[in-house]
Amino acid sequence: MPGRERSRRRNAEIEAAHEFDDPFAAAVRSGRIPVTITDPREPDNPLVYVNDAFARVTGYPRDEVIGRNCRFLQGPGTDQATVARIRAAVERGEPIEVELLNYRRDGTPFWNVLFISPVRDAAGDLVFFYGTQVDLTARKALERDLQSANEELAAALARQDLLLREVDHRVKNNLQLVASLLHLQSRSFQDAGLRTLVDGMIERVAAIGTLHTKLYQATDVHHVDVGAYLADLARDTLATSGRGDTVRLDLDIDPVAAARVPARDAASLGLIVNELVTNALKHAFPNGRPGRLTLRLAAIGPSGAPTLEVEDDGIGRDAGQLVSPRPRAASGFGTTLLTMLAKQLRTEVAWEDATPGTRVRLLPRANGSTSLPS
């Protein structure tokens, strides 16, 4: 008897064994989930039963599929590695669950979760494979739309990062140009005080330029390594002063505290470090006096709020100066800038006796309000 004829006869036997008054059989026949039964004892494990839902989902009438292997549902987009997994499970008589792309009778693809379970008789012999399918087409379409949206967002962010890098690069170059013009202009001044004032402005411009260099070189242009930035800035300020041979710079930067500093505050902190390091070099170590300068960024208090310190072991300050919150240079643009920057960060500057030398600390205000995270 030809194979397909035996399968049709087997289908008739299954139908006859489960009359319409059998509630289980009725549920399988009229259920919304496609159900298939194959006979592994026949060559090529053909279909011997499909329910109405299978015919509705695939578009194949029952008489066209009985006696055929289910591979007729496969198409050009069906993953052959998944098909091989199904084949191996069937050969071993084991259950399997896979997601598979199949094709309807009219050629349209549809995704489904395929569950295949072996059915054995009382003697333990394999007699059927019972299969069910759950349509995943809508979910897969949603996944594709989500993936497409994510790819478009990633491309937009990449374009934004590229633009920000270009902006940082151009700002850095423009700041270098401004610094060069100021330097050229200062060479024409006969007044030493005026030259000193312009040189101070050049240092401040360079401090901001260092930040944009860091941003341009950063992997993530939205974040900057504040610790590395402040350390580089302190080194550059010391090198520019010509005091690198006599003044040693010690760095004590807690990476956890540095990570808590928002990138938006980096420029303000950089200018503060520039002012404090420059102030210490000018006033703590006069006449080429050697010494040590310490830049410290640490977490304080139970909240772990970051605090900035610049400490020297220089000549120190007299008792009268320690009462005042103002730096050694008791007036001038540097003091005004330092006060303004601290106010922007909602912090305050504390001048303390380090014995020897002076310690300057940038602390949260007494009311606890600060732009630095706590």
Q: What is the pLDDT of residue 322?
A: 38
In sequence order, the 6+-apart residues with CB closer than 8 A to the CB of 248 are 291, 292, 293
Residue pLDDT, tens place only, 337-350: 888 888 888 888 88
Is the pTM for the entire model greater than 0.85? no
Residue pLDDT, tens place only, 172-181: 666 677 777 7
Which two structure tokens, joined as six digits, stand for 260?
């808590």
Which two structure tokens, joined as six digits, stand for 179?
């610094």
Residue 324 has pLDDT above 70, yes or no: no
158 versus 104: the higher-pLDDT residue is 104
Domains of the chain: 2-136 (3.30.450.20), 224-364 (3.30.565.10)
Q: What pLDDT band is residue 332 in, cutting at 50, 70 and 90? A: low
State mean pLDDT over 32-59: 92
Q: What is the pLDDT of residue 213?
A: 67
Q: How far is CA 6 from CA 10, 14, 47, in A?
A: 6, 12, 11
Q: ∠325-329-331 over CA atoms, to 5°?
A: 80
In sequence order, the 6+-apart residues with CB closer than 8 A to the CB of 58 are 34, 65, 73, 102, 104, 105
Which two structure tokens, joined as six digits, stand for 359?
């310690």
Which two structure tokens, joined as six digits, stand for 175?
């700041």
Q: What is the pLDDT of residue 234?
A: 87
Q: What is the pLDDT of residue 27?
A: 57
Residue pLDDT, tens place only, 196-252: 777 777 777 776 777 666 655 655 555 667 888 888 888 888 887 888 889 999 999
Q: What is the pLDDT of residue 60?
A: 94
The number of angstroms, rounded, from the C-alpha of 52 to the middle of its chain's C-alpha atoms is: 49
State the burial class of residue 1 (Cβ atoms within 10 Å of its Cβ: 0-12, 13-18, 19+): exposed
